[in-house]
Structure 1
Amino acid sequence: MKLARRDFVASLQTGLAVIEAFDSAHSRLTLTEVAARTGLTRAAARRYLLTLAHLGYADYDGKHFSLDLRVLRLGYGLLSAAPLPRKSQPVLDTVSLKTNETASIAVLDETAVVFLARSHSRRVFSPTVGVGTRLPAFCLSTGRVLLAQKTDVEVRMLLGHTDLTPFTPHTLVDVDAIVAAVRDARERGYALSDQEYELGLRSLAVPVPNASGRSEVAMTVSVQAAQMGMDEMVERLLPPLLEGARDLCTLL
């Protein structure tokens, strides 16, 4: 969409950039850190942060700022009404029933993946991941199958704008190793992540192609590492996951 210059509200763009400075790896930030992550001066960052706090979208403890739960209103209305989460819910519940594990779908948003829907499983695979959660793509199975839709050159460019800080001792942070993992996902048609984002958590993901054959959605099943090995995940969970992806494909 083209927008006339006179209609563009730069202050709104900046305010949203301040909100987006917070993520799962940076949930509490100082004024200086927000300024650095947004490119704003300290004075400008302070005004935006204090405004967000005044409106109830942020908390401030005297040193650190963090987002308040009210900010969820900005996304939950969309997620509850959007066609993709609604269409995928029965499919995810079926996959969960067949695997007895939690199933989710996610999409790629620049260097991160955003989870749009998840099954109503008896098992909660991670208390830190829910609908609307935004996580770094480089260390997740969902991220890798979605990055696999890009060329190796494009993946390297994206990784150049990604904070590759490890989350666990198992996190791949070497660019060549990550590109190789994405390439494997492209060749195999699925990706695995072994405790790279959270200790004790393993995940398996497959791409969900749309009518044009391009995959902009990933479907994943996550398990506790103590319950299932990587080879067993592929043997037991990949078939129902692929079946679920095919079912969802017909609805897109």
Structure 2
Amino acid sequence: MEDPSEQVTTSAAVGSDRDYVQSLDRGLALLLAFDGEHPDPTLAELAQLTGFSRPAVRRFLITLERLGYVRAHGGRFSLTPRVLLIGQHYTESHALIGVAQPYLLQLAERTGESASLAVLDNAEVVYVGRVPVRRIMSINVQVGTRVPAHATSMGRVLLAWSPAAVVDDVLTRRPPVALTATTITDGVALRDALHLVRQQGWSIVNEELEPGLLSASAPVRDRSGTVVAALATSTSTGRSSPDELERDVIPLLLDAAGRISSELGFGPAPIRQSAHEGFY
């Protein structure tokens, strides 16, 4: 006799509409409506932001408040620190982040610049690890920050080794927009840029996300060789140039990314070093 749990797993794997829980979808959408522009919205504002009816928003808020994720105060609502547990569970359940952290620290020490680790989520790059050194971007970058994949070195690395369907989705269904005067938005030019990244094994992006921002990235691979993250360092055009980054920083990035990949099971195991020995 077939195990019922296996039936559920199989059905979920193929994305059956019968198993899709719309109320959960809406509850998460309501949580995501809280952001920097709307830190403590009213019920009416949440209804407008989500497109849900006021009675539905009220029911979701009551449930989230009882679960401890939302707090009511004077007709307004705000998230509680409990929502951080969701992100904490993500970081604790992903060996990648724990493995990468020492190398992020080493990279920041070696370059004197910020070091970051990111993954791809649809058309955006999500920071999952970061060691800040200097404030370069006008965006307040921290773990969880999202930036457009098409205009970043991390995004180029992650897209370069993504399946064709993922790249098609990013470049066609969600057309890239210009963020600076030099942002590449043409589909053919972007595909050419991704091809170059695959050929050389790394990416440098100059002032496409923000004026004055220069970044470089290298791929991090898991045991199977799949690119699961991008390791990056960023600086300003006033402190470096693409040529200097390629000459001085890319070797450090490739070495660090290779060591993280090795600890994840890709290739030979790395020789462990103290945090002050650098990469060589």
Q: Give me the TM-score of the superposition, normalised by structure 1.
A: 0.78
Contact 2:33 2:46 in 1 (8 A): no
Give the structure 2 partner of residue 165 of structure 1.
177
Alignment of 1:71-220 (within 5 A): 71-80=83-92, 82-119=94-131, 121-126=132-137, 128-150=140-162, 154-162=166-174, 164-220=176-232
Change in CA separation of 1:158 and 1:51 when aligned onto 2, cut-off 3 Å: farther
Structure 1 residue 47 displacement after superposition? 5.0
Question: Distance in 2 between the 1:59 and 1:109 partners?
Answer: 31
SS of residue paired to 2:178: coil
Which has the larger Rg? 2
Structure 1 residue 85 displacement after superposition? 1.3
Structure 1 residue 42 displacement after superposition? 5.8
Determine what percentage of the aligned residue pairs are the same residue.
33
Structure 1 residue 222 displacement after superposition? 0.5
Question: Distance in 2 between the 1:41 and 1:81 partners?
Answer: 33
Change in CA separation of 1:52 and 1:239 when aligned onto 2, cut-off 3 Å: farther
Structure 1 residue 215 displacement after superposition? 0.9
Change in CA separation of 1:157 and 1:7 when aligned onto 2, cut-off 3 Å: closer
Size of the aligned set, in residue pairs, is 244
Structure 1 residue 141 displacement after superposition? 0.7
SS of residue paired to 1:239: helix
Question: Distance in 2 between the 1:88 and 1:233 partners?
Answer: 21
Structure 1 residue 8 displacement after superposition? 5.1
Contact 2:61 2:70 in 1 (8 A): no
Q: Give the gaps of 5 or more residues in structure 2.
A: 1-8, 265-280
Change in CA separation of 1:58 and 1:215 when aligned onto 2, cut-off 3 Å: farther
Tell me which amino acid in the other structure corresponds to 2:174.
Answer: T
Match of 2:238 among 226, 237, 245: 226
Contact 1:171 1:196 in 2 (8 A): yes
The 10-residue stretch of structure 1 (66-75 or 205-214) with the greater mean CA deviation from structure 2: 66-75
Question: Distance in 2 between the 1:153 and 1:192 partners?
Answer: 24
Question: Distance in 2 between the 1:147 and 1:59 partners?
Answer: 41
Change in CA separation of 1:12 and 1:245 when aligned onto 2, cut-off 3 Å: same
Structure 1 residue 208 displacement after superposition? 1.3
What is the alpha-carbon root mean square deviation over aligned residues?
A: 3.6
Structure 1 residue 130 displacement after superposition? 1.1
Alignment of 1:21-32 (within 5 A): none
Contact 1:191 1:206 in 2 (8 A): yes
Question: Distance in 1 between the 2:248 and 2:259 partners?
Answer: 18
Tell me which amino acid in the other structure corresponds to 1:237.
Answer: V
SS of residue paired to 1:108: strand
Contact 2:117 2:231 in 1 (8 A): yes
Change in CA separation of 1:20 and 1:172 when aligned onto 2, cut-off 3 Å: farther
Structure 1 residue 20 displacement after superposition? 4.6
